[in-house]
Structure 1
Amino acid sequence: MITSKSILYNRGGLNLEISIDLQESIFKADVLIEALKYIKQFYGKTIVIKYGGHAMIDESLKEKVILDIVLMKYVGMNPVIVHGGGPEITEVMEKMGKKSQFVNGLRVTDAETMEIVEMVLGRINKGLVALINDHGAKAVGLSGKDGGLITAQKCKSDVDLGFVGDVSEIDPEIINVLDKEGFIPVISSIGTCDGETYNINADLVAGEIASALKAEKLIMLTDVRGILRDPKDEKSLISTIKVSEIERLQQEKVIIGGMLPKVEACEIALRGGVKKTHIIDGRISHSILLEIFTDSGIGTQIIA
Structure 2
Amino acid sequence: MEDPALADLFAQDVVLMRLVGMNPVVVHGGGPQISDLMRRLGKEPEFVDGLRVTDAETVDIVRMALVGKVNREIVASVNRHGSYAVGLSGEDAGLITVKARDERLGFVGDVRRIDPSILARLIREELIPVVATVGVDETGQAYNVNADTVAAAIASALGAEKLVYLTDVTGLYERWPDETSLVSR
Please report the TM-score for the alignment, with normalisation by the length of structure 2.
Answer: 0.91
Secondary structure at 1:177's aligned position in 2?
helix
Secondary structure at 2:24's aligned position in 1?
strand
Stretches of structure 1 lacking an aligned partner (at least 5 in a row): 1-55, 228-248, 264-299
Q: Once the two structures are superposed, what CA deviation does each residue of 1:208-236 show, in whole Å capped at 9, x if it has no partner?
A: 00110110100011124545xxxxxxxxx
Distance in 2 between the 1:145 and 1:92 partners?
21
Match of 1:127 among 59, 63, 73: 73
Distance in 2 between the 1:106 and 1:182 partners?
35
Cross-structure match for 2:4: 59
Residue 184, structure 1, aligned to residue 128, structure 2:
yes
Opposite residue 81 of structure 1, the aligned amino acid is V
Structure 2 CA distance for partners of 1:209 and 1:144, relative to 1, 3 Å: same
Cross-structure match for 1:81: 26
Distance in 2 between the 1:258 and 1:214 partners?
31
Map residues 251-262 of structure 1 onto 2, 5 A cutoff. Answer: 256-257=176-177
RMSD: 2.0
Q: Does the aligned pair in 2 maintain the 1:167–1:200 contact within 8 Å?
A: yes
Residue 144, structure 1, aligned to residue 90, structure 2:
yes
Secondary structure at 1:195's aligned position in 2?
coil
Secondary structure at 1:117's aligned position in 2?
helix
Distance in 2 between the 1:226 and 1:167 partners?
22
Distance in 2 between the 1:205 and 1:147 partners?
16
Stretches of structure 2 lacking an aligned partner (at least 5 in a row): none
Match of 2:108 among 164, 183, 189: 164
Opposite residue 155 of structure 2, the aligned amino acid is A
Distance in 2 between the 1:136 and 1:195 partners?
34
Runs of at least 4 residues off by over 6 Å = none
Q: Does the aligned pair in 1 maintain the 2:7–2:77 contact within 8 Å?
A: no
Distance in 1 between the 2:104 and 2:14 partners?
38
Distance in 1 between the 2:118 and 2:178 partners?
30
Distance in 2 between the 1:202 and 1:258 partners?
20
Greater relative contact order: 1 or 2 (C-alpha under 8 angstroms, separation 6 or more)?
Answer: 2
Distance in 1 between the 2:51 and 2:14 partners?
29
Q: Once the two structures are superposed, what CA deviation does each residue of 1:81-130 show, in whole Å capped at 9, x if it has no partner?
A: 00001001101111111011100011111111111000010111011111
Distance in 1 between the 2:121 and 2:81 partners?
22
Would you tell me which structure has more strand in proportion to its own residues? Answer: 1
Cross-structure match for 1:22: none
Secondary structure at 1:166's aligned position in 2?
strand
Match of 2:41 among 75, 83, 96: 96
Bigger radius of gyration: 1
Opposite residue 257 of structure 1, the aligned amino acid is P
Please report the TM-score for the alignment, with normalisation by the length of structure 1.
Answer: 0.56
Cross-structure match for 1:231: none
Residue 223, structure 1, aligned to residue 148, structure 2:
no
Q: Does the aligned pair in 2 maintain the 1:144–1:190 contact within 8 Å?
A: yes
Cross-structure match for 2:153: 208
Aligned length: 181
Cross-structure match for 1:273: none
Distance in 2 between the 1:208 and 1:258 partners?
24
Percentage of pairs with the same residue: 53
Q: Once the two structures are superposed, what CA deviation does each residue of 1:153-207 show, in whole Å capped at 9, x if it has no partner?
A: 111x3x5211110100000000000000010000000111112100000110001
Distance in 1 between the 2:144 and 2:2 partners?
20
